[in-house]
Structure 1
Amino acid sequence: MFVTKRRSSGLAVLLLVAACCLPAFVMPPSQSTPPARDQMLLAGSAGLVASLPAPAHAGGMFDFGLTLPFVAGSFLLLMAVLNALFYAPVGEEIEERNAKLLQTLSEATDMLAEADEMQVQYTAEIKEAREKAAKELADAREKTEAAIEAQMSAKAAEREKKAADFRAKVQDSMNKQIKEAEGKIEERKTTFVKNTLAGVGL
């Protein structure tokens, strides 16, 4: 691209120098000739022009002479110089800027699409983590409740066993006391009967 700019700049400078060398841009010769000679040249030129046949359209409304081709050539030369020095570099800069903008826009679009994908992925992962945590919490609650229930059942069974043992001991103790009391009652009964019969004199 730098070589293209250098070539176009060189071409533009060359065209500008050529335009400056046209007869309209060349300075008139210095007044070193004497005025009499100038008058003679002027008179000769006027005679020469008068002796030339006039073209059919001379003196008409659109008698431009060499002005129109000179203006057209100057315009084309100016357009070539402007195209080489201004329009081409500016056009290249605009194209580069548009390419950069399109690239930036494409990268931004890709980043937005990637961000959307990441958001969907993170949302799915968060949902999965919440479901997993809820499941683990429910499992832990069930295990804790089962452990508590097992402990309560074990304690209840232990209490029932202790109560049954205590009842059995109490029952055994009562049975022993009843047997002992029955023996004592029989003895007292026999003693009472003997004493009563002895008191009666039988």
Structure 2
Amino acid sequence: MTHWTLFLATEAVEKTAEGGLFDFDATLPLMALQIIVLTIVLNKLFYKPIGEVIDERSDYIRTNLLGAKERQDKAESLALQYEQELRDVRRETQEVVAMAQAEAQKVVAKEMKLAQEQALAEREKVALEIEAQRKSAFESLERDVDGLTSQIVEKLVGAGS
């Protein structure tokens, strides 16, 4: 068994000497140079343009967000202003309506008073006319009664003589 172990150890040493997992000869600097060239090419062709596009897109988004924020702030301030104006207009219209109602009540009261005064004046006029007609009728009746009385007296006196 020792022989077998010795054989495996020598074989491992020979394989390592021939080039194993890592060879430190001219391949290593060449690989390093290839990686550097590949990094430069990728940077120039892909990463830089993609980075610029991403930066431009970020700037565009940032600009649009700022513009949207400004427009939103302006819209909110306009909405507040319009709400205030609407409240003011509603208050003014309520005042105008209240004043119109008060004025209408005054006009109605004035017209009612005027109509009552006219009705009272008309009533008094009619009452005076009725009184005048009554007096006239009584006077006419008195004349008729006096005439009839004098006729009756004349007939009685003339019949008695």
- Is 129-138 or 60-69 further displaced after alignment? 129-138
Query: Structure 1: which 5+ residue stretches go unaligned?
Result: 1-56
- Give the corresponding residue for 1:100: 60
Structure 2 residue aligned with 1:26: none
TM-score, L = length of structure 2: 0.69
Give distance in 1, aligned partners of 2:27 and 2:17.
14
- 1:76 is the counterpart of 2:15: no
Q: Secondary structure, in 3 states, of the residue corresponding to 1:63?
A: coil
The equivalent residue for 2:119 is: 159
Task: Please list every run of 5 or more consecutive structure 2 residues that lacks an aligned counterpart in the other structure.
Answer: 1-15
Pair 1:90 & 2:50 matched: yes
Deviations 1:40-94 (A, max 9, x none): xxxxxxxxxxxxxxxxx95452333110111012212321333244322321221
Q: CA RMSD for the aligned pairs?
A: 2.9
CA change 1:184–1:58 in 2 (3 A) is same
Which is further off, 114-123 or 91-100? 114-123
| Greater relative CO, 1 or 2 (CA 8 Å, sep 6+) | 1
**Partner residue in 2 for 1:177:** 137
What is the total number of aligned residue pairs between the two structures?
145
Distance 2:120 2:77 in 1: 63
Instruction: Tell me the residue number matched to 1:50.
Output: none
Counterpart residue number, 1:121: 81
Greater Cα offset, 188-197 or 161-170:
188-197
Q: Which letter maps to 1:121?
A: Q
Secondary structure of residue in 2 paired with 1:64: coil
The structure with the greater share of residues assigned to helix is 2
Q: TM-score, normalised by structure 1?
A: 0.57
1:63 match = 23
Percent of aligned pairs sharing the same letter: 23
Q: Summarize the alignment of residues 126-165 of structure 1 with structure 2, pairs less than 5 Å apart.
A: 126-165=86-125
